[in-house]
Structure 1
Amino acid sequence: QLAVVAKDYKIYYKKVDGKTPTSYTVDHSAGSYVYDTRGNVRLYSRYGSGAKVLAQDIQTLLNTTP
């Protein structure tokens, strides 16, 4: 099920072997989704974009939503 959800949301993830046989890390995309009151994705905010950019994007959504 994880692979289906990752594909639907265009999420990247990959297990990376560690330095020992029992260790590993996971490379992955990072960000946040903003949904409207109907449960539709309206915005994807990249990790590290900052609060100011996110606030501007949300304000744009609020100004354009009927």
Structure 2
Amino acid sequence: MQNIKVSFLALSFISLALMFLLHGLSMPHLLLHITHLTGVAAQLSMFLATIWLWLSSLPSDNKLIAFLSQW
């Protein structure tokens, strides 16, 4: 069960990096024209990282962690 907590921690950093990559690539006139994706990606990156960090802080015997570890 401890490996799932490390996986959640890794997913936190991966989701943070990928969403900030999307944020950087969606800057106006880089790949797309003016869009709201830049602001949304920045906020979503912090939200996803927070969720994964919260999941990694839960005890291993939590029902949610047990359910997610089956996946």
TM-score category (smaller protein): under 0.3
Considering Cα pairs closer than 8 Å and 6+ residues apart, tell me whether 1 or 2 has the greater RCO.
2
Structure ID, larger Rg:
1
TM-score computed with the length of structure 1 as normaliser: 0.24
Structure whose residues are more often helix by fraction: 2
TM-score computed with the length of structure 2 as normaliser: 0.23
Structure whose residues are more often strand by fraction: 1
